[in-house]
């Protein structure tokens, strides 16, 4: 037999059609891949494009194959199954609202063992946030905590930023004003993946925190306001930040979908967005849709409210979870948060390694 493709007749891959070249470049073993990094030791683009399968058998959890270029090898059936069905060890996202239990973790336990760290990271990926208590209420503690998870992203604000009320601020975060639910830094390329906000002091009246699951809001819009959902998933909006030495701009949809139509990213920041000049019919729907999304993102139905007290860190997925705070009175006490950004590479990659 010499076949371009085969149909597996048994086991978990039963009924699956597999193509010769696709299989050939998945052969395992030291002859084909470097055992240290699992990278190919050959250039797959140079394989015979008319390659055929001469023989194959499924045995002992492996698919053993002989190819027409004289190469024989095997592939794990389980690994093939996982790849074909896009099975990832990083848990699926759970949609939540105000009725869900707040995900709180203790800093003294998270890094005690890999099991605790795994539980925290799993919850972070399921819910898009984690509240950490019992950290030191000291400057730079947010960097120390973040660097246990991955490299901190330095921006034009430096490695960390101080959220503190100050005169002539270059961002509304540095005032005592209320901040409605929003994404941070939507004008950056790429938008920061994960934000950590650490509380050093929160002695003012007001200044309570809130988080909202942007995916939950997007799902509500999808099923209750289809026309709004469609315009928000189709319109690229420009986000802009102006400072004395830099003007940052980035375009994104308020609800970004992946190629399968799943929620990929939520971007909402009403103080910084500039919708393109669409025709009046589309602009009319867009403005109604954005207003509806704003109302949902700030409604009690979706928001969890909590006080970020001294020594606590709010760590959230800035591509999914929106955050906000109530206004505070700086005359009633000192309020000082420090924040920084890390990338999903660090946490997602670490979790995948822990779950392997
Ligand atoms: Fe923010």
CATH number at residue 56: 3.30.2020.30
Distance 195 CA to ligand 1 centre (A): 9
Tell me whether residue 91 is in a domain: no
- CA–centroid distance, residue 212 to ligand 1 (Å): 13
CA 179–ligand 1 middle distance (angstroms): 8
* 180 Cα to the center of ligand 1, angstroms: 9
Residues 146 and 14 in one domain: no
Could you tell me the distance, in angstroms and rounded to a whole number, from the CA of residue 267 to the centre of ligand 1?
A: 12
Q: How many CA atoms lie within 13 A of 292 on its CB side?
A: 19
Residues 6+ apart with CB under 8 A from 30: none
Tell me how far the alpha carbon of residue 182 lies from the centroid of ligand 1, in angstroms. Answer: 6
CA 267 – CA 193 distance, rounded (Å): 11
Same-domain pairing of 41 and 185: no
- How far separated are the first and last CA of the chain, in Å rounded? 37
Indicate if 18 and 131 belong to the same structural domain: no
**Do both 224 and 284 map to the same domain?**
yes
Element (H, E) at 267: none
Same domain membership, residue 13 and residue 135: no
Distance, in Å, from the CA atom of 233 to the CA atom of 210, rounded to the nearest integer, reads 25
For residue 96, being part of any structural domain is answered with: no
Q: How far apart are CA 223 and CA 62, in angstroms?
A: 44
Considering only CA atoms, give the Rg of the chain. 25
Is 318 part of any domain?
Answer: yes
Residue 52 lies in a domain: yes
Query: At 279, which CATH number?
Result: 3.60.130.10
Are 62 and 74 spatial neighbours (Cβ–Cβ below 8 Å)?
yes
Residues 219 and 349 reside in one and the same domain:
yes
Residue 89 domain-assigned (yes or no): no
**Would you give per-residue pLDDT tens digits along the chain (356 residues)?**
789 999 999 999 999 999 999 999 999 999 999 999 999 999 999 999 999 999 999 998 999 999 999 999 999 999 999 999 999 999 999 999 999 999 999 999 999 999 999 999 999 999 999 999 999 999 999 999 999 999 999 999 899 999 987 667 777 777 888 999 999 999 999 999 999 999 999 999 999 999 999 999 999 999 999 999 999 999 999 999 998 899 999 999 999 999 999 999 999 999 899 999 999 999 999 999 999 999 999 999 999 999 999 999 999 999 999 999 999 988 898 999 999 999 999 999 999 999 98
Burial class (CB in 10 A: 0-12, 13-18, 19+), 305: middle
Helix (H/G/I), strand (E/B), else coil: 181:
strand
Distance from C-alpha of 3 to C-alpha of 21, rounded to nearest angstrom: 11
What is the 324 CA–ligand 1 centroid distance (Å)?
A: 7
Span from the CA of 176 to the centroid of ligand 1 (angstroms): 13
The whole-model pTM stands at 0.92
Do 80 and 177 share a domain, yes or no?
Answer: no
Residues 110 and 233 in one domain: yes
Instruction: Indicate if 320 and 253 belong to the same structural domain.
Output: yes
Is residue 18, in this structure, part of any structural domain at all? Answer: yes
Å from CA of 171 to ligand 1 middle: 9
CA of 4 to the centre of ligand 1 (A): 54
- Residue 266: per-residue pLDDT: 98
DSSP state letters, 10-59: SGGGTT-EEEHHHHHTT-BSTTTB-TTT--BSS-GGGS-TT--EEEEEEE
Q: How far is the CA of 339 from the centre of ligand 1 (A)?
A: 9
142 with 243, same domain?
Answer: yes
Distance, CA of 103 to CA of 254 (rounded, Å):
26
Using the mean position of ligand 1's atoms as its centre, give its distance from the Cα of residue 178 in Å: 11
Predicted local distance difference test score (pLDDT) of residue 167: 63
The per-residue pLDDT for 176 is: 83
* Rounded-to-integer distance, Cα 16 and Cα 69, Å: 23
Please state, in angstroms and rounded to a whole number, the distance separating the CA atoms of residues 166 and 118. Answer: 39
Q: CB neighbours of 183 closer than 8 A, spacing ≥ 6?
A: 191, 214, 266, 267, 268, 269, 318, 319, 322
Is 179 part of a structural domain of the chain? yes
* C-alpha 145 to ligand 1 mean position (Å): 19
109 Cα to the center of ligand 1, angstroms? 28
Taking the centre of ligand 1 as the mean of its atom positions, its distance from the CA of residue 318, in whole angstroms, is 9
For CA atoms 187, 189, 195, 201, give the dihedral sign: negative
> Range of 131's domain?
104-355
Cα(172) to centroid of ligand 1, in Å? 9
Residue 285 and residue 143 share a domain: yes
Domain assignment of residue 39, yes or no: yes
User: How many angstroms is it from 192 CA to the middle of ligand 1?
Assistant: 11
Domain count, the chain: 2
Q: Is the Cβ–Cβ distance between 347 and 118 less than 8 Å?
A: no
Q: How far is the CA of 148 from the centre of ligand 1 (A)?
A: 22
How far does residue 199's CA lie from ligand 1's centre (Å)? 14
For residue 46, report the distance from its CA to the centre of ligand 1, in Å: 49
Same domain assignment for residues 72 and 148: no
Distance 207 CA to ligand 1 centre (A): 13
């Amino acid at each position: 037999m010499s076949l371009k493709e085969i149909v597996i007749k048994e086991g978990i891959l039963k009924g699956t059609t597999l193509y010769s070249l696709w299989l050939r470049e998945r052969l395992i073993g030291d002859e084909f891949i470097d055992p240290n990094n699992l990278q190919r030791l050959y250039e797959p683009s140079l394989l015979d494009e008319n390659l055929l399968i001469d023989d194959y058998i499924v045995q002992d959890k492996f698919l053993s194959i002989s190819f027409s270029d004289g190469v024989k090898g095997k592939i794990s059936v389980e690994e093939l199954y996982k790849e074909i069905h896009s099975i990832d060890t990083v848990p699926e996202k759970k949609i939540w609202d105000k009725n869900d239990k707040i995900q709180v973790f203790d800093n003294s336990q998270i890094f005690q063992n890999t099991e605790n760290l795994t539980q925290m990271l799993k919850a972070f990926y399921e819910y898009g946030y984690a509240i950490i208590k019992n950290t030191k209420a000291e400057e730079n503690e947010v960097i120390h905590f973040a660097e246990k998870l991955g490299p901190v992203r330095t921006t034009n604000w430096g490695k960390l930023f101080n959220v503190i009320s100050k005169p002539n601020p270059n961002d509304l975060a540095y005032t005592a004003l209320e901040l409605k639910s929003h994404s941070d830094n939507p004008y950056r390329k790429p938008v920061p993946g994960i934000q950590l906000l650490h509380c050093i002091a929160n002695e003012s009246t007001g200044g309570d925190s809130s988080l909202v699951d942007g995916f939950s809001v997007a799902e509500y819009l999808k099923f209750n306001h289809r026309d709004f959902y469609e315009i928000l998933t189709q319109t690229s909006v420009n986000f802009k930040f102006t400072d004395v030495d830099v003007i940052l701009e980035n375009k994104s949809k308020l609800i970004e979908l992946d190629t399968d139509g799943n929620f990929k990213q939520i971007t909402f920041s009403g103080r910084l967005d500039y919708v393109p000049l669409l025709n009046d019919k589309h602009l009319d729907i867009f403005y109604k849709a954005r207003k509806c999304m704003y109302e949902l993102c700030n409604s009690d139905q979706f928001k969890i409210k909590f006080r970020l007290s001294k020594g606590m860190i709010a760590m959230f997925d800035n591509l999914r979870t929106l955050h906000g705070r109530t206004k505070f009175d700086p005359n009633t006490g000192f309020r000082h948060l420090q924040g920084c950004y890390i990338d999903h590479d660090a946490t997602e990659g670490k979790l995948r390694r822990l779950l392997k």
